[in-house]
Amino acid sequence: MKIMIDEIRRVLQAGQVDGATIHEIQELVVDSLPVMVNRLAARTYEPGRYLLYKDSDFGFVVMMLVWAPGQVTPIHAHGTWGVEAVIKNHVRVTSYDCDTNVAREIGSVVLPVGAVAYVLPPDADVHKVEHFGSEQAITVHVYGKELLENLVFVPGQGFKGMPCSVTELPSDLDWFAGFGGVLREMPIA
Ligand SMILES: [Fe+2]
């Protein structure tokens, strides 16, 4: 994962994330998937949103989301680019086209372990994620910025900012703390 973070920093140093570079970041996450599956999928966690890494120079974050069976998000947007990888079980992602009043479904896909999807505003940003299995699912997300709130679609009102919670990292994620603590302070190479 250190390689993934170093390489994402390299991509971001070249400029804004666009239609070409989001695929580059997607490929970097694909490359790191086996390691993340190995290290994160071995046990269960409390459902929640775990901040694994925040880049102090470029502002992007890596988060682990643990989904309880049946958990579903509202229709929402993040207002920044994002890449999402499925680490354990599967989730269904449904995309929408919205105006102030109505959200129209434009596609829905089940993402199994190993799938890596992305969002990139303004054209590909509005979505809903649901976990429909009987055991918890785990996804890892790289977002272009720390998400203090999500933009939740409210029919008739458009998008409303809703605060996001962050769950405390379990102490047994030592493998992450081993380099995460260093990377949090790592200067631009
Ligand atoms: Fe999302």
| pLDDT confidence of residue 122 | 86
Query: Rounded to the nearest whole angstrom, what is the distance from the C-alpha of residue 8 to the centroid of ligand 1?
Result: 20
> What is the tens place of the pLDDT at every residue in 81-101?
999 999 999 999 999 999 989
Gap from CA of 14 to ligand 1 centroid (Å): 25
- 175 CA → ligand 1 middle, Å: 26
Is the backbone peptide bond immediately before 112 cis, with ω within 30 degrees of 0? no
pTM: 0.89
pLDDT tens by residue, 111-129: 999 999 999 998 889 999 9
Domain 2-167 has CATH 2.60.120.10: yes
Measured in Å, residue 66 CA sits from the centre of ligand 1 at 13
Mean pLDDT of 37-51: 91
Question: What separation in Å is there between the alpha carbon of 152 and the centre of ligand 1?
Answer: 10
Q: Residue 182 Cα, ligand 1 centroid: separation in angstroms? A: 28
Domain ranges of the chain: 2-167
Taking the centre of ligand 1 as the mean of its atom positions, its distance from the CA of residue 97, in whole angstroms, is 14
Percent of the chain exceeding pLDDT 90 equals: 69
74 CA distance to ligand 1 centroid (A)? 9
Residue 111 to residues 7, 75, 90, 92, 137, Cα–Cα distance (Å): 24, 17, 6, 6, 11
Q: What residue type is 132 in one-letter code?
A: F
DSSP string, 107-166: EEEEE-TT-EEEEBTTTB--EEEE--SSS-EEEEEEESS--SEEEEEETTTEEEEEEPP-
Q: Residue 184 pLDDT more than 70?
A: no
Q: How far is the CA of 53 from the centre of ligand 1 (A)?
A: 18
